């Protein structure tokens, strides 16, 4: 691939789209379709539409990235708000085109060219959007941004430093118990102070989403939520079956891991703030700073696979990673793409913990998949649905295991052991978040206190070992409020657990034959979003997580490797 035309991030020219620009482009697209006589004309019109969509989406991602890079910059905030205000018109036009193509006299010929899956995807897009909810979507985005801003505004005075909700995490994992307890209390004290605002934003989101679902003729936001996640080949009953498998096979293993952890730390009782520490000598941490880490990651991908190697070098050369934590920078990590330039972008907040390494293995997995499949004929075929996308990221976390000595030296084994334990321990938390959201949208009129009680109900099912001590926000059931997805991306969270179940299958296979597993992984990335979840699983030789036995085998193998018995 010729990459010389790809600009450096700092040199990217991304003009703002005004309402008039968008309208003119929509007219041009509509005219191309209206004039199309033959199938060739139609395909040319689709290509033109797709190209414009890639340019418009680049603008959207660009202003979103720039906002998260500095949430206190008013210019960036305004640019993002202008984009958000115009976005429903983009969605509306896209839906019109999709509806026209679905009902087109020559649909069979177009379907033969692009494949049937894309039409199924478009059917869902149409079901989840109608101009009658356009204003609600803007409001939803505004409320989510309020949560992001509120969280990014936290200033926590800790032992002479001012920390934010990202940079304090390092102290919440400190090997000194007093330090981590103090940091944990400070972190959750902020949630107690901001309790009213956190409850207000969430309450408004639940009401708004429920009304949107009703306007679209659905009984609750659960139905709408599944459609918005573009779930084509599974539903709430399958997800409930998966949660039950987690409860049956993983929760007992997780309890055994927590008991073993308490013993190793020499504690009578494992408190919430102890859960992040797996070893009395502290968690393994990378042995260098940001620049050193980028060098090690370059060596790692060079050693793994020629395609991973050239791609990571390109990301680095073109400034397509923003990894350092700064005041005012939004928390978290993500990967997105500027499709007009044909490149992904990786965002993180390095804080000196082993989590930083995960950025190179997790977000790089997303980025590599986007890169591998960006030349699909249609933009909607580039990214798969989220549960499939997380297979690419989480599997790379396991496929990079043999190279962890580069980052952790003699601590690599401790890292791998902890990574596996944490992935297993994540499953009960992940399904708890999912179960909680089903309860929330079943009873949208619940009070904040009732919502907290719902959280406590799911905690008892999946996280029975939790002990919060005297931390007020946690004791009253507000632990869910730190979870961005619950505010901003309803019903997304289960996707991580479904993908983790697939990634753990890659782990088992990689232990048998690392090269063969990596080759299958690279092939799966190149498929991008050209099929729904179950089909992608099947094509990569993975068992779908809902199916009987998907977790029993993994749990048994992991218990053997970790030397615990549930």
Min separation Cβ 366 and Zn ion, Å: 6
The smaller minimum CB distance to Zn ion, of residues 245 and 393, is found at 393
Which of 90-98, 195-203, 371-379, 391-399 is the region at the interface with Zn ion (rule: CB under 5 A)?
Answer: 391-399
The contacts of residue 423 (CB under 8 Å, 6+ apart) are 394, 397, 500, 503, 504
CB atoms closer than 10 angstroms to residue 2: 5
Tell me if residue 321 falls in helix, strand or coil.
Answer: strand
Q: What long-range pairs does 210-215 form, CB within 8 A, spacing at least 24?
A: 210/441, 210/444, 211/136, 212/133, 212/136, 212/137, 212/140, 215/130, 215/132, 215/133, 215/136
The smaller minimum CB distance to Zn ion, of residues 48 and 334, is found at 334
Min separation Cβ 393 and Zn ion, Å: 4
Site for Zn ion in 166-195 (CB under 5 A): none
Element (H, E) at 328: none
Q: Indicate if the alpha-carbon torsion angle 425, 426, 431, 433 is positive or negative.
A: positive
Could you give the CA distance from residue 134 to residue 123 in angstroms, rounded to a whole number?
18
The smaller minimum CB distance to Zn ion, of residues 181 and 387, is found at 387
Min separation Cβ 493 and Zn ion, Å: 11
Residue 388 is a binding residue for Zn ion (CB under 5 A): no
Min separation Cβ 212 and Zn ion, Å: 26
Min separation Cβ 563 and Zn ion, Å: 29
The smaller minimum CB distance to Zn ion, of residues 212 and 335, is found at 335
DSSP label at 545? T
Contact 474, 272 (CB under 8 A): yes
- Smallest CA-to-CA distance from 553 within 510, 501, 512, 511 is with 501
Pairing of strands 334-338, 321-324: unpaired
Contact 508, 400 (CB under 8 A): no
Which of 44-52, 258-266, 308-316, 390-398 is the region at the interface with Zn ion (rule: CB under 5 A)?
Answer: 390-398
Min separation Cβ 96 and Zn ion, Å: 31
Phi and psi angles of residue 207, each rounded to the nearest 5 degrees, phi first: -60, -45
Which of 387-395, 412-420, 511-519, 538-546 is the region at the interface with Zn ion (rule: CB under 5 A)?
Answer: 387-395
The smaller minimum CB distance to Zn ion, of residues 206 and 424, is found at 424
The smaller minimum CB distance to Zn ion, of residues 184 and 393, is found at 393
The closest residue (CB) to Zn ion is 393
Min separation Cβ 395 and Zn ion, Å: 11
Tell me, by CB under 5 A, how many residues bind Zn ion. 1
Min separation Cβ 426 and Zn ion, Å: 12
Which of 9-17, 235-243, 350-358, 392-400 is the region at the interface with Zn ion (rule: CB under 5 A)?
Answer: 392-400
The smaller minimum CB distance to Zn ion, of residues 379 and 500, is found at 500
Alpha helices (H) along 229-353: 236-245, 251-265, 290-304, 306-317
Contact 493, 430 (CB under 8 A): yes
The smaller minimum CB distance to Zn ion, of residues 441 and 506, is found at 506
Q: Any idea which residue has 């379709």 for tokens?
A: 33
Q: Which of 141, 222, 283, 393 binds Zn ion (CB under 5 A)?
A: 393
The smaller minimum CB distance to Zn ion, of residues 393 and 481, is found at 393
Min separation Cβ 389 and Zn ion, Å: 7
Residue 344, both tokens? 């992904």
The smaller minimum CB distance to Zn ion, of residues 148 and 393, is found at 393
Rg (CA), the chain: 23
The smaller minimum CB distance to Zn ion, of residues 461 and 489, is found at 489
The contacts of residue 343 (CB under 8 Å, 6+ apart) are 6, 314, 315, 318, 320, 337, 371
Pairing of strands 334-338, 343-350: antiparallel
The smaller minimum CB distance to Zn ion, of residues 86 and 315, is found at 315
Min separation Cβ 502 and Zn ion, Å: 13
Site for Zn ion in 91-150 (CB under 5 A): none
3-state secondary structure 208-264: HHHHHHHHCCCCCHHHHHHHHCCCCCCCHHHHHHHHHHHHHHHHHHHHHHHHHHHHH
Which of 215-223, 299-307, 385-393, 483-491 is the region at the interface with Zn ion (rule: CB under 5 A)?
Answer: 385-393
How many residues would you count in the chain?
A: 566
Which of 78-86, 300-308, 374-382, 388-396 is the region at the interface with Zn ion (rule: CB under 5 A)?
Answer: 388-396
Min separation Cβ 370 and Zn ion, Å: 12
Min separation Cβ 362 and Zn ion, Å: 6
Residue ranges that bind Zn ion, judged by CB under 5 A = 393
């Amino acid at each position: 691939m010729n990459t010389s035309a790809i600009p450096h991030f700092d040199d990217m020219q991304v003009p703002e789209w005004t309402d008039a620009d968008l309208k003119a482009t929509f007219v041009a697209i509509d005219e191309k379709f209206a004039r199309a006589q033959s199938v060739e004309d139609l395909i040319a019109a689709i290509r033109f539409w797709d190209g414009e969509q890639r340019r418009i989406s680049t603008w959207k991602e660009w202003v979103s990235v720039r906002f998260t890079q500095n949430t206190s910059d008013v210019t960036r905030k305004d640019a993002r708000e202008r984009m958000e205000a115009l976005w429903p018109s983009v969605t509306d036009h896209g839906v019109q085109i999709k509806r026209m193509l679905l009902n087109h006299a020559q649909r069979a010929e177009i379907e033969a060219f692009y494949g049937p899956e894309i039409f199924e995807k478009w059917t869902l897009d149409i079901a989840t959007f109608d101009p009658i909810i356009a204003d609600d979507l803007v409001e939803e985005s505004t409320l989510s941004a309020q949560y992001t801003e509120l969280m990014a505004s936290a200033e926590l005075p800790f032992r002479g430093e001012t920390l934010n909700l990202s940079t304090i995490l390092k102290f919440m994992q400190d090997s000194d118990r007093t330090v981590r307890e103090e940091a944990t209390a400070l972190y959750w004290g902020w949630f107690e102070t901001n309790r009213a605002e956190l409850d207000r934003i969430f309450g408004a989101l639940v009401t708004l989403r429920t009304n949107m679902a009703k306007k679209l003729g659905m009984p609750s936001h659960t139905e709408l939520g599944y459609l918005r996640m573009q779930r084509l080949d599974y539903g709430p009953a399958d997800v409930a079956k998966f949660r039950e498998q987690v409860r049956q096979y993983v929760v007992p293993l997780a309890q055994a891991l927590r008991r073993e952890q308490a013993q190793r730390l020499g504690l009578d009782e494992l408190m919430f703030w102890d859960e992040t520490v797996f070893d009395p000598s502290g968690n393994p941490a990378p042995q260098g700073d940001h620049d050193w880490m980028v060098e090690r990651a370059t060596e790692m991908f060079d050693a793994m696979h020629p395609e991973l190697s050239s791609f990571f070098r390109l990301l680095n050369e073109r400034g397509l990673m923003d990894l350092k934590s700064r005041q005012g920078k939004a928390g978290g990590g993500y990967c997105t793409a500027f499709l007009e330039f044909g490149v992904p972008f990786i965002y993180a907040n390095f804080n000196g913990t082993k989590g930083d390494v995960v950025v190179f293995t997790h977000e790089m997995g997303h980025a590599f998949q986007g890169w591998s499949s960006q030349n699909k004929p249609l933009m909607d075929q580039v990214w798969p649905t989220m549960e499939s996308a997380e297979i690419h990221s989480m599997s790379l976390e396991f496929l990079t295991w043999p190279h962890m000595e580069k980052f952790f030296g003699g601590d690599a084994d401790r890292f791998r052991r902890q990574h596996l334990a944490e992935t297993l321990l994540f499953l009960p938390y992940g399904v708890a978040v999912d179960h909680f959201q089903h309860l929330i949208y079943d009873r949208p009129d619940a009070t904040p206190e009732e919502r907290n009680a719902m959280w406590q109900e799911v905690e008892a099912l999946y996280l029975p070992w939790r002990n919060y001590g005297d931390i007020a926000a946690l004791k009253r059931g507000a632990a869910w409020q730190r979870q961005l997805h619950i505010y901003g991306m309803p019903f997304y969270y289960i996707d991580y657990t479904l993908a983790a179940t697939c990634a753990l299958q890659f782990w088992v296979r990689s232990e048998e034959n690392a090269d063969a597993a990596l080759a299958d992984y690279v092939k799966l990335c190149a498929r991008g979003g050209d099929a729904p979840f179950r089909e992608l699983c099947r094509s990569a030789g993975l068992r779908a997580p809902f199916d009987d036995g998907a977790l029993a085998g993994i749990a048994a193998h992991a218990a053997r490797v970790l030397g615990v018995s549930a």
